[in-house]
């Protein structure tokens, strides 16, 4: 036999569950709105909860690749280098000491110029990067990046374009000083 206290606790639990689902405007089944028996509510409540979803917030989705970039800008719109800068970066350069090979990714596309941030250098200097897959190269500013020498590097958008690399690829690039 169930005591009145247990019945009261059960009824309060059912009311609390019903209040949690108050946001739904449509009843879950025709019998749930017509029935007022606590047993009927207990049977229909799990059915209503099974289809429930978490509320979603309205707004624009933001990812790491869209932070700081206006929506709808293409790579050409972000490339602010001049024809003179492109010619200087494309000028043939011989010599220089090979510092190593690094896996490169696209750096901050809003930062202008031809540069590579790499752990292969300790101080800012001029250098060159080469894409061994196609032989294309670019004269760039070498900027130190913290981390081990085996760590990856970040390359400017125009430099990657000059090397013939897709902006989503992770190419192995050779880095030269001088």
pLDDT digits (tens, 9 = 90+) for 95-110: 689 999 999 999 998 8
104 backbone dihedrals φ, ψ, rounded to 5°: -115, 150
| Closest C-alpha among 102, 81, 88 to residue 139 | 88
The token duo for 76 is 């050409």
CA-to-CA distance for 171 and 105, rounded, in angstroms?
7
**Structure-model confidence comparison of residues 108 and 8, the more confident one:** 108
CA-to-CA distance for 173 and 163, rounded, in angstroms?
9
Question: Which of 26-35, 71-80, 107-116 bottoms out in mean pLDDT, i.e. has the lowest?
Answer: 26-35
Position 137 pLDDT exceeds 80 = yes
Per-residue pLDDT tens digits for 151-160: 899 999 999 9
Per-residue pLDDT tens digits for 48-58: 444 444 444 44
Domain boundaries, the chain: 4-20+29-49, 80-177
Q: Would you state the pLDDT for residue 33? A: 45
pLDDT confidence bin for 14, thresholds 50/70/90: confident
Q: Is residue 174 within a helix (H) or strand (E), and if so which, with residue range? A: strand 172-177
Q: Indicate the Cα dihedral angle 142, 104, 109, 115, nearest 10°.
A: 10
Q: Would you state the pLDDT for residue 96? A: 81
Position 122 pLDDT exceeds 60 = yes
**Structure-model confidence comparison of residues 155 and 70, the more confident one:** 155
Q: Would you state the pLDDT for residue 95? A: 67
CA-to-CA distance for 43 and 86, rounded, in angstroms?
72
Superfamily of the domain at 80-177:
RlpA-like domain (2.40.40.10)
CA-to-CA distance for 160 and 169, rounded, in angstroms?
10
Q: Would you state the pLDDT for residue 41? A: 45
Position 23 pLDDT exceeds 60 = no
| Closest C-alpha among 75, 96, 66 to residue 160 | 75
């Amino acid at each position: 036999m169930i005591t009145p206290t247990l019945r009261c606790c059960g009824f309060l639990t059912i009311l609390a569950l019903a209040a949690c689902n108050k946001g739904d405007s449509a009843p879950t089944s025709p019998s749930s709105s017509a029935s007022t028996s606590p047993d009927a509510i207990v049977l229909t409540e799990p059915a209503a909860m099974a289809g429930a979803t978490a509320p979603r917030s309205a707004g624009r989705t933001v990812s790491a690749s869209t932070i700081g970039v206006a929506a709808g800008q293409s790579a050409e719109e972000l490339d602010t280098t001049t024809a003179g800068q492109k010619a200087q970066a494309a000028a043939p350069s011989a010599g220089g000491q090979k510092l190593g090979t690094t896996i490169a990714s696209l750096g901050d596309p809003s930062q202008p110029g031809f540069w590579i941030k790499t752990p292969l250098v300790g101080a800012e200097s001029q250098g060159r990067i080469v894409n061994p897959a196609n032989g294309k190269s670019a004269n760039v500013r070498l900027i130190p990046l913290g981390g081990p020498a085996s760590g990856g590097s970040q390359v400017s958008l125009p430099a990657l374009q000059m090397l013939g690399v897709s902006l989503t690829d992770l190419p192995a690039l050779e880095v030269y000083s001088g």
